[in-house]
Amino acid sequence: MISQTENPVSVQRFATEIADKIKDHPRWSQIFNNGFTNTLQTTVRRLEDGTTFVITGDIPSMWLRDSAAQVRPYLVLAQEDAGLADMIQGLVQRQLQYIVLDPYANAFNIEPSGKGHQDDATEMTPWLWERKYEIDSLCYPLQLAYLLWKNTGRTSQFNDTFLQATRTILNLWRTEQHHETESAYTFQRANCPPTDTLARDGKGSETAYTGMTWSGFRPSDDACTYGYLVPANMFAVVVLRYVTEIATEILRDPNLVEEAEALRKEIDQGIQEHAIVDHPEFGRMYAYETDGMGRYNFMDDANVPSLLSIPYLGYTDASDPVYQNTRRFILSESNPYFFKGKAAEGIGSPHTPNRYIWPIALAMQGLTATTSEEKARMLGLLAATEADTGMMHEGFHVDDPHEFTRSWFSWANMMFAELLMDYCGFRVQK
């Protein structure tokens, strides 16, 4: 039996509180209310086993990344609303179960229905919608489990399934530090754009050891140009720090502490030694991808984790000089996916048409801004480009926001919600 989640009283009260704080911007609160309630009403499913299944919106499967991002803003209310906390804990449990089932998969079916990309040349099963391996798909559930603890005090999510999933993740990341020699993972898709499949018979472009861990795909679900995706490795460093804290304070597992800390230090050293470059215009900055053999990809993508999101992830502070140099690069036309137009300017993605920018990236620009004025500017820009729909979209054309992709995309709605909450002083505790 599947039950939809109704909007609890806490959500209604919170929407009213937000509206009271921004009386000069009624459109902002209207968009907030639309997205904040729509996600609960249309994408969240509570199951009989106590777990939670969250669809992305217009695709009926659950992405590990998207589902975590979609419920994250509710953590602020879960401090007082046990029902919302139960919903989030149910999602964590289901995410961990899926990771144990197949840690290389990024998207899953609600039951073993065989729906999705079953023709892909990889180890598909009826539970999997898609098996594109992405580091962030493993980071997000660990992060959500940790944030649930920090925001509600709950620790029951740190059960045997959590321990099994965590050890599975650590083992996979160690294997993928040596992708060329130790990994059995391959992925190929026929009759598709090059970004939907991996080169070299599904192995991906060649890499050399750096200490970082390899990723086949970006959080956009597009193939990596080079196998070491820097912002995803930064996210791994952050969640490994979380694992160390959980293993120390909750699980009392010194072996897990030692394993997580050792891996964290290796990945972080790899970032510091192989991902920072001296750019002739912007100075010392992070590359988006590298291969450990001297090749770099200088860009940023709208999807999170991104280079723009580094402080949001918790890898460095927004004032860090290397981040500031990187930020100047990615918010300039030196970034091949930064677009300027008549209606807006911001970061897009090769995942969508040329000159389309993403509300997720605009929200992230606001969430990583250091002034309330910049946050307000991003909120105003998002509200001005929703094409009279009252909702966010995946991407829209910089000259005409009425040309957009995905009218029902819950992740973008909740990123707008999180930015507005941040602007009003309501923040997820980390």
The string of pLDDT tens digits covering residues 141-150 is 999 999 999 9
What's the mean pLDDT in 402-429? 97
Is the pLDDT at 264 greater than 60? The verdict is yes
Average pLDDT value over all residues in the chain: 97
Domains within the chain, CATH numbers bracketed: 9-42+338-424 (no CATH), 66-336 (1.50.10.10)
Residues 6 or more apart whose Cβ sits within 8 Å of residue 280? none
The mean per-residue pLDDT over the stretch 23-42 comes to 96
Instruction: Say which residue the tokens 């919600």 belong to.
Output: 417
Dihedral over alpha carbons 200, 202, 205, 207 (to 10 degrees) = -110
Q: Is 1's pLDDT higher than 60?
A: no
Indicate whether 288 pLDDT > 50. yes
> What are the structure tokens assigned to 179, written together?
């992708």
Structure tokens at 426: 């309501």
Q: Is residue 6 predicted with pLDDT exceeding 90?
A: no
Which of 48, 37, 31, 34 has its CA nearest to residue 5?
37
Q: Which of 139, 19, 27 is nearest to 392 (CA)?
A: 27
Place 4 in a pLDDT band, splitting at 50, 70 and 90: low
Confidence of residue 7 (pLDDT cuts 50, 70, 90): confident
Dump pLDDT digits (tens) for 324-358.
999 999 999 999 999 999 999 999 999 999 999 99
pLDDT, tens digit, 9 for 90 and up, residues 224-245: 999 999 999 999 999 999 999 9
What's the one-letter identity of residue 111?
A: E
What is the SS3 assignment for 262?
A: helix
Task: Give phi and psi for 296, each to the nearest 5.
Answer: -135, 150
Q: How confident is the model at residue 317 (pLDDT cuts 50, 70, 90)?
A: very high
Mean pLDDT of 387-392: 97
Burial of 58 (0-12, 13-18, 19+ CB in 10 A): exposed
For residues 67-81, give the mean pLDDT: 97
- 122-160 tens-digit pLDDT: 999 999 999 999 999 999 999 999 999 999 999 999 999
Quick one: pLDDT at residue 2? 46
Task: Flag whether the pTM goes above 0.95.
Answer: yes
pLDDT at 3 over 70: no
Using an 8 Å Cβ cutoff, are 178 and 109 in contact?
no
Residue 46 pLDDT: 96
Mean pLDDT calculated for residue range 376-396: 98
Long-range contacts of 269-272 (CB under 8 A, 24+ apart): 269/211, 270/210, 270/211, 270/212, 270/228, 270/233, 271/212, 271/230, 271/233, 271/234, 271/237
